[in-house]
Structure 1
């Protein structure tokens, strides 16, 4: 593939690579990047929110560099690879005359720019979407065992990047249903499933926690046209900036001339339609639709080559986009360029403020899977996110990080404290507090299990609560209290109440290690009207009640 690249193309590509390397070095991490860096400290076949590809990229980057570049180096490499693949996907001999237009289009796409150096799950998703389409194109040209195996491996890599990848595969398949009867296509599927088996095993061993969270546990909110559906259309615009009318016009004007072009069109319309329908149920984030940037890039550049007037206007608007995005890149490094503080600003400063006051003492951040890894990245010190019922589950819920702070003197940092031993300021200058806990002890891995499909508030029935203790030691019941949280129909907690429980006959006043203890209880009546769901939870040692039970509908 690279043998077809001209010197001009390589110069542009090299410039892009250097720009992204410099940007990576001077831009502080954003919160999600620090969270995925935290993933990479303990490599696994899966993580709470995502498959493991993003962690693998960071781990590989760390072999070459330290600091921010040790998180982002592989993103810069993948960005180069994405442009090379996109170039090869365009079948038009005159493309060599319009290399500046090719890069102008790429540089002008907002998130294609961002994921050229930021390391997020969408970074490998973009690269492997492009590689998948390239592998599929080669498969169409020559169907054989080797092209099928390669296609299968790429499909697995795509799925290891982000679960949204299933849409890419599904809509390409939908564009060519004859593949259902193709033995080589089935070989590709089998290879993909075999390669993806380690992640399936991880999901099984972790009780499908990722799938359950994304499909059933995730909080939502009441439908709002402006936030949901209108927001979705705004995202379609934001993805391409000023060039958006020309990009979508090229999609509209594209004629399906072969099976591969049909795949690009189906993929684009399919993803747009899928998330348009989704927008009537939940808010669609811009990065969820990022995969359409790959087929639309190819279709737009193809149309650019065929239409001189369109080419002229696309180039002009792309240049304006590039100027704006270049300013934004400088702003990511130097905050005074805009009166807005972003995630990449002042991280070293607020982290240093804490260490100046407490040294290398372990820090327990309440409800912040964002602050905990950011603090750990910039200090190398121990941190932990203690998640309670008002927050959400995350990687700190399922990994072993809780053990690192047990029975340690810690600084407990919370945005809910009205005062404390230490006064702090976040990056925006807002005051929050920390208090010292001499002997920190939490039991956030305790599981509350009730074998019912729903709770009946009109019933006075006595129910059975099973509490599983996964720890290596018994837990004295004097250390814990049971609670119930009631949520609205969108799973947002609105009320918590103490839950009176009684040990079943023959049970000891301990939660036995690696064992299940049985209680009986009656569900207290909520004060709120018409709760949607209830969750049973546990508070330990005076800490705010945790995330210990699943969300159960209330009748």
Structure 2
């Protein structure tokens, strides 16, 4: 990368970095950031929802700062480096005359702006996408051992950021099929896979929990055009705000006159087509397609330098975008200025209200991997998310958070208006209901295993296995069982109790790391006469039934 930069470039890049630092310091964490901070409390080669790089960034940030900046500092660094890399990737002698236009284009992109300081998996994803494009351009100019190794390391960085990174790699490679005959390209693939081995091992050791969740276990809804496909097109507009007509105009006018531009176009169109097709199956979240912002900055900036109309309107509308974004960013810090009630608002006050009541007592949240880490971050109390059958599995289902709250007096917090000892009200009027439990005990890691596919027939005798992964015995009298009947979309329609039996009625406990075999009969469904999936759940000590079994396909 060329070291000589226009002075105005350094100034505008520095201003953006400084604004992001200030925003990071003064803005309370959003729920997902707190969740990833929880990841970083114990570094690992993988986590339930994502690869580990986001946790590593938070851990590194924590070496330099405390508080919110100790979560976000590396995001500020990476987002600044991303713009520097993009600038360095653009080989056009006229670009020094359009520095301000470059920054207006980049800073006006809505989510790209947000990921300038929020610490989310997309932050390193955007950085490594920009870096891969830069490295790939140099690789095309001079394929060599050096660039092959660097490209492999960069691809590994992408995959350690987010699984969607596979799309970036695939579409860049598809843009140049002749790479299959390039020994250095194969070297880069080998290096990437070698670097990724620790994560493969983690997945294997954890029963591929991340892949199973994202591909097989997530519930879905029947297709809804307005919610899915139309919502996808709304996201395409939201990515760029008021500049979107000229951004997509620049994309449509671009031509693949060289291999690098061909890679840019393959990446953008590939991602757009992939998620358009996916929109017929599920709702597409805006951040899933944010990666197209990186190649589009290069494509559209080139277009701006050649087209006066695009340059004029992107500059004008970009400045309006920036003004709106800055106003919203101030609203994140100073709540009275915010036009909406955002998720950062009111959390610190709520945490203080709860802490004032309970001191350092542990907190157990019903179905909230969002509230549990927010409360732990701002109060320092041990917290745990107790996930039941109405929710989903998450990092709290596989890590060591559960033992930290066992056999202690805890405050159990939920959104259900039950017989509560404490009621807390957030600024938006939502309530949180608390119940004290003197000796909390849960066994959410107990596993129920059905043979797959299961031969479903109400009243017919079946078997399932109960596995105890804990290093202590568990009294079976503390456990009750139920069965959930699910649709094709894994939506639960029936939850019915079952009374399974052991062959030996004298067995009263299940040993550590032991397995027991139960016989039971499927109860007659009430709503779903022909379930597509079934699952066995466990209630311990009167808590709500958990997600202890896999969604098992019915024959």
TM-score, length of structure 1 as denominator length:
0.98
CA distance in 2, matches of 1:288, 1:247: 18
CA distance in 2, matches of 1:469, 1:293: 47
- After superposing the two structures, state which structure 1 stretch, 535-544 or 307-316, moved more: 307-316
1:127-206 aligned within 5 A: 127-206=127-206
2:455 is the alignment partner of 1:467: no
| 8 Å CA contact 1:507, 1:518 repeated in 2 | no
SS in 1 for 2:448: strand
2:361 is the alignment partner of 1:361: yes
Partner of residue 499, structure 2: 500
Per-residue displacement from partner, 1:302-323 (whole Å, max 9, x unpaired)? 0111112221111111111111
- After superposing the two structures, state which structure 1 stretch, 55-64 or 520-529, moved more: 520-529
Partner of residue 509, structure 2: 510
CA distance in 1, matches of 2:189, 2:147: 12
Q: Quote how far apart the aligned CAs of 1:432 are.
A: 2.6
1:38-77 aligned within 5 A: 38-77=38-77
Per-residue displacement from partner, 1:302-361 (whole Å, max 9, x unpaired)? 011111222111111111111111111111112221342111111110101100111110
CA distance in 2, matches of 1:79, 1:507: 62
CA distance in 2, matches of 1:333, 1:228: 32
CA distance in 2, matches of 1:455, 1:36: 40
| 8 Å CA contact 1:417, 1:434 repeated in 2 | no
| 8 Å CA contact 1:507, 1:517 repeated in 2 | no
Per-residue displacement from partner, 1:247-298 (whole Å, max 9, x unpaired)? 1111100011100000000000000000000000000000000110001110
Distance change in 2, residues 1:2/1:347 (3 Å):
farther
Partner of residue 262, structure 1: 262
Q: Quote how far apart the aligned CAs of 1:507 are.
A: 6.8
| 8 Å CA contact 1:2, 1:84 repeated in 2 | no
Distance change in 2, residues 1:417/1:516 (3 Å):
farther
CA distance in 2, matches of 1:136, 1:247: 24
Q: Quote how far apart the aligned CAs of 1:427 are.
A: 4.3
Unaligned runs of 5+ in 2: none
SS in 2 for 1:485: strand
- After superposing the two structures, state which structure 1 stretch, 234-243 or 424-433, moved more: 424-433
CA distance in 1, matches of 2:226, 2:532: 24
1:189-268 aligned within 5 A: 189-268=189-268
SS in 1 for 2:313: helix
Count of residues paired in the alignment: 554
Q: Quote how far apart the aligned CAs of 1:452 are.
A: 2.5
2:318 is the alignment partner of 1:340: no
Unaligned runs of 5+ in 1: none
CA distance in 2, matches of 1:2, 1:328: 35
SS in 1 for 2:3: helix
| 8 Å CA contact 1:413, 1:435 repeated in 2 | yes
Q: Quote how far apart the aligned CAs of 1:138 are.
A: 0.9
| 8 Å CA contact 2:472, 2:511 repeated in 1 | yes
Partner of residue 422, structure 1: 422
Partner of residue 325, structure 2: 325
TM-score, length of structure 2 as denominator length:
0.98
CA distance in 1, matches of 2:177, 2:506: 59
SS in 2 for 1:3: coil
Distance change in 2, residues 1:310/1:452 (3 Å):
closer
SS in 1 for 2:470: coil
- After superposing the two structures, state which structure 1 stretch, 219-228 or 361-370, moved more: 219-228
CA distance in 1, matches of 2:426, 2:546: 24
1:79-118 aligned within 5 A: 79-118=79-118
| 8 Å CA contact 2:412, 2:436 repeated in 1 | yes
Distance change in 2, residues 1:191/1:507 (3 Å):
farther
Partner of residue 525, structure 1: 524
Partner of residue 126, structure 1: 126
Partner of residue 401, structure 1: 401
- After superposing the two structures, state which structure 1 stretch, 281-290 or 480-489, moved more: 480-489
CA distance in 1, matches of 2:12, 2:339: 32
CA distance in 1, matches of 2:493, 2:72: 40
> RMSD across aligned C-alpha pairs, in angstroms?
1.2
SS in 1 for 2:539: strand
Distance change in 2, residues 1:455/1:328 (3 Å):
farther
